[in-house]
Structure 1
Amino acid sequence: MVHLKHVRRDAPWAWLKAGWQDIIRAPRVTVGYGLIFVGAGALIVLGLNAIGFASAVPVALSGFALVAPALAIGIYQVPRAIERGEKPRFRFIISRFPSRLSQIGFLSLLLLMLFLLWVRIAQFLLVALAPDTPLLPGPFLEYALSDPAGLSLMVIGTAIGAVLAAVAFSMSALAFPMLVDQDVDAVTALVASFKAVIGQPFVMLTWAWLIAFMMAAGSAVFLIGLAVTFPWVALATWHAYRDFSPEAAPSASSSASPSA
């Protein structure tokens, strides 16, 4: 059983404000962390273009959104340092490893499986609905927006991607910050995330839309914007976790007093 606090309906905006304040306090650490993943994303995009699979770039970018919560665990050391009254430094990210690495790895594997499922679904849809789709970016976009098969591919692919994104969000909304901050297992962290989404759907739907908008906006500017929006969303997620303050209730066996 996991207990959560009730948060205000406008809480997502407060989380973004708090995350931005963290960036202002430690711009080199936070933006530097974001640039690492911008560089990795740029290499993937260049690689796909080099082998003639530029049309797979949108799938890769949407896949990044699925696994991004797992990639953000290092940035949580910034607000933790601020809470302790310390000056955030990049060495905190690489030296202060969470004690629950195995549980974080398990949850990361679940997100990776979602990403691989999305890749397989995208491949299936491409073959089943639009086998004649051109792979170059310009012709692909023209085909997707003008041909009925291309339009079907876009609509169905977007709908399925949205469902997978919703599952990933529900799994990770609070889970990774909780695993970094508390000595709990992955199942408990997953329960906390799902309970927050189910218990306060308006708040979490608003938060999900804000995340989607910020990640899309960051990706639109040749991925450079992700250097800011990625750590910003991650830091705001930490403040969302703090706002909900999930607390795992002791089990009946552990709370029962020993018999005389």
Structure 2
Amino acid sequence: MSHHFKETPENAITQSGIARVIPCKELDVGDPIKWMSLALRDAMRAPGLTLFYGVLFAVIPWFIMYLVEMTGWHLVILPAIVCFMLVGPFLAAGLYDISWEMEKGHKPTLRHSLRAMRRNAFNEWGFAILLMVMMIFWLRVASLIHALYPPYIENDLESLLPFLMLGTMVGAGFTLAMLFVTAFTQPILMERKVDLATAVLTSVNAVWLNKVPMLIWGAIIFSAVAIGFVTGFIGFIVLMPIIGYASWHAYIDAIETKRERKYE
């Protein structure tokens, strides 16, 4: 067995009592770049499917922004970004399936990838509800910050700065929590018949034990989302499928399996 493996006792969460934790492997700082290059290769091998999911990723936030324009409530933008990051894992399930199919030497199909979400349906729904609760909590916090904000000051940058800083700090903390919870939960649920608590705790444990590589990975995801927003969501068409494929390769690298994986 390679030096890459961590033994089970080093788990941050050992006997939690509510679920078992699948052991994780030790990641290298350069691994996120490797995942991105593998993802790029997957995208080249399935250009049509990649484009299909990419367009979906671009249309959803465009629709959110359209609603913002219609209602004129611009403070919805930051929560909308987080909401979009919550929707992401569901679309990503289809992308994981494409990478997984290619890893097995199969030709990926749209039908097969769309059915991927049903593979562990009960726990997938549980995950959706968990994300929804987190999203509602974030929206409540965002509206609470908004409520604390005095209505009578000018809408210039100087007067908005404390409010924006508070919102950004809360948002950053929330996004970090999301990284821990969502990093590996979805691919674990999709590939293995495990319960939601096992998947979430395994994800938290793997991120905690690989803080530096996972923070780099989180920064890559955040940058991709930021580029997508700056380019009016056009960037999402290319970037989001690549992030999806890379997440699958991250999962393969991070979570221990009974037999070694091979990249073709």
> TM-score scaled by structure 2?
0.84
Aligned residues: 238
Residues in 2 aligned to 1:120 and 1:64: alpha-carbon distance in whole angstroms: 16
Q: Provide the residue aligned with 1:36 in structure 2.
A: 56
Q: Provide the residue aligned with 1:155 in structure 2.
A: 165
- Are the counterparts in 1 of residues 116 and 190 from structure 2 also a CA contact under 8 Å? no
Residues in 2 aligned to 1:97 and 1:67: alpha-carbon distance in whole angstroms: 13
Is 1:82 the counterpart of 2:95 in the alignment? no
- Residues 54-99 of structure 1, C-alpha deviations (whole Å, 9 max, x = no match): 3422321232124422331121111111012122222222234443
- What displacement does 1:247 show? 4.9
- Correspondences of 1:196-211 after superposition (within 5 Å): 196-211=206-221
Percent identity over the alignment is: 27
- Are the counterparts in 2 of residues 218 and 224 from structure 1 also a CA contact under 8 Å? yes
- Residues 177-214 of structure 1, C-alpha deviations (whole Å, 9 max, x = no match): 11111111111111111111111111111111111111
- Correspondences of 1:26-65 after superposition (within 5 Å): 26-65=46-85
Q: Provide the residue aligned with 1:123 in structure 2.
A: 143
Unaligned runs of 5+ in 2: 1-20, 259-264
- Are the counterparts in 2 of residues 67 and 115 from structure 1 also a CA contact under 8 Å? no
Is 1:227 the counterpart of 2:237 in the alignment? yes
Amino acid at match of 1:221: T
Rg larger for: 1
Residues in 2 aligned to 1:246 and 1:71: alpha-carbon distance in whole angstroms: 24
Q: Provide the residue aligned with 1:244 in structure 2.
A: 254
- What displacement does 1:215 show? 1.1
- Are the counterparts in 2 of residues 211 and 233 from structure 1 also a CA contact under 8 Å? yes
Residues in 1 aligned to 2:86 and 2:166: alpha-carbon distance in whole angstroms: 18
- Are the counterparts in 1 of residues 206 and 255 from structure 2 also a CA contact under 8 Å? no
Is 1:194 the counterpart of 2:204 in the alignment? yes
- What displacement does 1:133 show? 7.0
Is 1:103 the counterpart of 2:123 in the alignment? yes
- Correspondences of 1:166-185 after superposition (within 5 Å): 166-185=176-195
Residues in 2 aligned to 1:132 and 1:247: alpha-carbon distance in whole angstroms: 58
- Secondary structure of the equivalent of 1:72? helix
In structure 2, relative to structure 1, the CA distance for the partners of 1:176 and 1:56 (3 Å cut) is same
- Are the counterparts in 2 of residues 76 and 234 from structure 1 also a CA contact under 8 Å? yes
- Are the counterparts in 1 of residues 117 and 124 from structure 2 also a CA contact under 8 Å? no
- Secondary structure of the equivalent of 1:183? coil
Residues in 1 aligned to 2:175 and 2:86: alpha-carbon distance in whole angstroms: 6
In structure 2, relative to structure 1, the CA distance for the partners of 1:121 and 1:212 (3 Å cut) is same
- Are the counterparts in 1 of residues 39 and 243 from structure 2 also a CA contact under 8 Å? yes
In structure 2, relative to structure 1, the CA distance for the partners of 1:68 and 1:77 (3 Å cut) is same
- What displacement does 1:20 show? 1.1
Amino acid at match of 2:226: A
> TM-score scaled by structure 1?
0.85
- Are the counterparts in 1 of residues 90 and 117 from structure 2 also a CA contact under 8 Å? no
Residues in 2 aligned to 1:97 and 1:127: alpha-carbon distance in whole angstroms: 38
Is 1:146 the counterpart of 2:166 in the alignment? no
Amino acid at match of 2:141: I
- Residues 207-254 of structure 1, C-alpha deviations (whole Å, 9 max, x = no match): 111111111111210111111211111110000000113359xxxxxx
Unaligned runs of 5+ in 1: 135-139, 249-260
- What displacement does 1:155 show? 0.3
Is 1:218 the counterpart of 2:228 in the alignment? yes
Of residues 101, 106, 112, the one that matches 2:132 is: 112
